Structure 1
Amino acid sequence: MAGQIYAGHSRCYDAIVVGAGIQGLFAAYQLAKRGQKTLLLEQFPLPHTRGSSQGQSRIIRSAYPQDYYILMMGEAYRLWAALEAEAGVKLYRPTPMLVLGHQENPKFQNYRQSIERHHIPSEAFTPQALAQKFSGFYPHGGEMAVSDLSAGVLYANKALQAVQDQFQRQGGTVHDGEKVLNILPGALVTVSTSQGEYQAKRLVVTAGPWTNRLLAPLGLQLPLQPLRISVCYWKAKGQGHGSHRSLEQFPCFLSAGLSGHAHDVYGLPSDEYPGLVKICYHHGSPVDPDQPDQLGHASAVPDVRILQDFVRKYLPGLEPEPAVQERCLYTNTPDEDFVLDRHPRFRNIIIGAGFSGHGFKFAPVIGKILCELSLGEEPFYNLAPFQISRFSTPSKANL
């Protein structure tokens, strides 16, 4: 039963992880693999749709403008493959991803140059070749594309379950439906929940949009902005029995600096709903994660209208109205880079946050990094882009 504590269960652990999204699951799994007696706490009954990790699909890709992300993805692919082999579950399918943009656009050029610099398997398309190879795309503004041939689709919900299963097979303990109420720092961290009290030598906080509520009593507030994202699915015009197959072969894509769009639009082939493609705007509306359906009208981003405009211009073979609308939560940092760091004062409290809508693919590496930080080790990667100190005015009232 969710959140139930059984008689005789220990309340003292080597490590506690708060938050059972994909990042917390991988952190707990890595800790358990390292021989740490680990408790994973989740405030909602599992599985749930209240956070950022749920859903059927996510894009996995090597293509990034930033070198540090590309370097992390090399290991991420290997760790995803290792999890597939260990769990005996298919978690990924290869699908080329197109980066769309104007030849002269700096953002598009950053993608193209990084792909070339890191020798990512790719192919460049002129506007004419793009329209010929991928008949669904209409580069109405003369856009070209470069493909990431290492890309694909991750099966998100299957991945969540696979990591949880492997964590428990390593001896890890999951308590879901159990909300954390208070964290008392010390050589042994004390975590009070709706069901009881636990102690551990180290704590990892991966609580998504609820992160600052846990950090505030510890004298730290990060510049995290929860956003509600519209996840939209679209069907082909005049869709018949034969069109399902063509949409299943639809590539992943990511727009990079298209005129009239401040943020990226991205898409995935038919998967969740047969005959529908997933197309979303990489931005949303500020929201209280406990009341995700309540939006302030003044702050609401008209993301569905932006998507309708994009579909009308670039994918005219799709219906102009989404067939299905769902929602997801992002937790954004100002620079959209992650937070992977120790608490500035309490060094046995580790924070993984601000994954800004693009962290799922990195989760195996992020979990390993959080594990290493909690064990007092220095990870292989340069973590300067992810350190708390990069923010100019973090709240340190009690530090």
Structure 2
Amino acid sequence: MTGSRVIVVGLGGLGSAALYRLAAELGSEVLGIEQFEVGHHRGASQDHSRIIRLAQHEEQYAVLAGPAYKAWDEIEAESGQQLVTRTGGLVVEDRIARRSAATGTRNIEGYTAMFDRYGVGYELLDADSLVERWPQFRVSGGEQALYQHESGIVDAARANAVHLALARAHGAEVMSGTRVRAVRPDGAGAAVVTDAGTFRADRVVVAGDAWTNQVLADTGVTLPLTVLQEQVTYYATPYLAEFAPARFPVFMWHGRHNFYGFPVYGEVATKLGQHMGGHETTPDDRTFDPDPVRRERYAAFVDRHLPRFGGPELYTKTCLYTVPPDQNFVLDTLPDAPQIVVANGAGHAFKFAALIGGMLTDLALDREPGHPIDAFSITRPALTDPSFPRSFHV
């Protein structure tokens, strides 16, 4: 049995960030273990782009949004790599469609309340003003939009690679293609059982996403996590200049369904996804086959509201969301085994990944995190009360 001071299990968005922050303090005493090849496409952290934004409609995330930008700035400064591209960002609320669908809880007022509380500047636009500013949109007249100029894109795959490179530069070891079969308490530390042998550490950070409960099985802890298969589509628009990052913002569209979209980035194509709505699966049973119903739903939205955004489908790809009943993060130590830290991003954490890496480091090193995490406790009712209803933020 070999030993390290801290082992990180799972090297996606949160795990790679934690590995870097830990290595920056502990150097070669840190080991990261990934069951697949680094940069694989089986989880949640693949692909080119994620939206980063100050626009948050809940206090527990609004308080982290500004610090998350600073954390990404630190990563860019140390690595010399650009990870964040500011495009500006829109939240568009189709109030007529939303009322008729009777779905969802987000609204413009929820975002502006948080902006006002934290002193963040923004603009409110009616449907006419939205189209005047961005004629790429087609509207019905019942839309209201919120614009915030700091929103943009964080490059997911590139960010993971940068975090891992920086971790190695600080002395961390990375083991890929190594399946973790179990993590269990071992005295004051923990044992990590893998196909390559058993490793012991003083502390373990489990960032296993859809595989979390498999990894934690020997601890006696099972979290009520729902795994969803989601998807995004890239469109080879012929109107590249109209949808360049300098001319078209990232956006979220809250209507009968909640869509999100990107300008041309990563591929010579625009990108559209739907927040939530995918079918339930498991990491072992999931497929990589796109849902044709959602593919058609995306195309209908583009035809109606962004006709020049579309074009020949370049490809549609799937990913996994792993979501607690309240769709809030899990960032905490196990109650009966505080040497084991658990991280779950609830399908929306990547924009905060650089910051969360530091918070997980604090937890692993028995420090109080520098930002509030009470809402992400592993002992909250959403995770301990079997009758707690699922209330995903759709």
Calculate the TM-score normalised by the size of structure 1.
Answer: 0.88
Pair 1:286-2:287 in alignment: no
Provide the C-alpha distance between the structure 1 equivalents of 2:283 and 2:141, rounded to a whole number of angstroms. 38
1:337 to 315, 319, 328: 328
How far apart in 2 are the matches of 1:98 and 1:42?
36
State the AA in 2 paired with 1:280: G
Is the alpha carbon distance of 1:322 and 1:85 closer, same or farther for their aligned partners in structure 2, counting shifts above 3 Å? same
Counterpart in 2 of 1:74?
66
Residues 318 and 183 of structure 1, relative CA distance in 2, 3 Å threshold: closer
- Look up the equivalent residue of 1:167 and give its one-letter code: A
Amino acid paired to 2:205: V
Q: Which moved more, 1:312-321 or 1:41-50?
A: 312-321
Alignment partner of 2:346 out of 356, 359, 369: 356
Q: Does 1:142 align with 2:142?
A: yes
Shift of 1:392: 4.8
Deviation (angstroms), 1:308? 2.6
State the aligned residue count: 373
Query: In the TM superposition, what is the alpha-carbon distance from 1:145 to its structure 2 partner?
Result: 0.6
* Aligned equivalents of 1:52, 1:196: Cα separation in 2: 27
CA distance in 2, matches of 1:321, 1:330: 27
Please tell me whether the aligned partners of residues 229 and 279 of structure 2 are also in contact (alpha carbons under 8 angstroms): yes
Show the counterpart of 2:207.
206
Indicate which of 316, 328, 351 corresponds to 1:325.
316
Instruction: Measure, in 2, the Cα distance between the counterparts of 1:140 and 1:323.
Output: 28
Q: 1:7 — aligned with what?
A: none
Q: Deviations over 1:162-209 (max 9, x none)?
A: 110110111101000000112231212111111111111001000010
SS of structure 2 residue aligned to 1:336: coil
Shift of 1:359: 0.5
Deviation at 1:223, TM superposition (A): 1.4
Distance across 2 between alignment mates of 1:302 and 1:376? 47
1:90 matched residue in structure 2: 82
Q: 2:101 aligns to what? A: none
Alpha carbons 1:282, 1:357 under 8 Å: kept: no
Aligned residue for 1:137, secondary structure, equals coil
Q: Does the 8 A contact of 1:287 with 1:294 survive in 2?
A: no
Q: Provide Cα deviations, 1:250-275, integer angstroms capped at 9, x if missing partner.
A: 2100123x2x22xx21001111221x
Change in CA separation of 1:369 and 1:301 when aligned onto 2, cut-off 3 Å: farther
Query: What does 1:59-208 correspond to in 2, within 5 Å?
Result: 59-102=51-94, 107-186=107-186, 187-208=188-209
CA distance in 1, matches of 2:19, 2:87: 30
Instruction: Judge conservation of contact 1:184–1:190 (CA < 8 Å) in 2.
Output: yes
Contact conserved, 2:270 with 2:310, CA < 8 A, in 1?
A: no
Deviation at 1:67, TM superposition (A): 2.1
Q: 2:41 aligns with which of 29, 43, 49?
A: 49
- Relative distance call for 1:58 and 1:49 in structure 2 (3 A) is same
Cα pair 1:102 1:108 within 8 Å, conserved: no
The answer to whether the 8 Å contact 1:373/1:379 transfers is yes
TM-fit CA distance, 1:310? 2.0
Work out the CA distance in 2 between the residues paired with 1:393 and 1:164: 31
Letter of the 1:193 counterpart: T
Whole-angstrom CA distance in 2 between matches of 1:359 and 1:369:
13
Q: 1:144 to 1:289 in 2, by over 3 A?
A: same
Deviation at 1:362, TM superposition (A): 0.4
How far residue 294 of structure 1 moved from its aligned partner, in angstroms, is 7.4
Consecutive unaligned residues in structure 2, runs of 5 or more: 99-105, 387-394
Aligned-residue offset at 1:321: 6.9
What are the superposed Cα offsets for residues 235-288 of structure 1, whole Å, 9 maximum, x if unpaired? Answer: 44xx3xxx21112132100123x2x22xx21001111221x2111001112122
CA 1:392–1:328: 2 relative to 1, 3 Å? closer
Match of 1:247 in 2: 243
- Structure 1: give runs of 5+ residues left out of the alignment: 1-9
Secondary structure at the counterpart of residue 192 of structure 1: strand
Aligned to 1:6: none
Go from structure 1 to structure 2 and tell me whether the alpha carbon gap of 1:168 and 1:358 turns closer, same or farther (over 3 Å shift): same
What secondary structure sits across from 1:200 in the alignment?
Answer: strand
Alignment match of 1:381 (pick from 353, 367, 371): 371
Aligned mates of 2:141, 2:336 — CA distance in 1: 52
2: CA distance, partners of 1:226 / 1:338: 14
Q: Distance in 1 between matches of 2:22 and 2:84?
A: 24
Q: CA deviation at 1:302?
A: 3.6
SS at match of 1:306: helix
Classify the secondary structure of the residue corresponding to 2:338: coil
Residue 356 of structure 2 is aligned to residue 366 of structure 1: yes
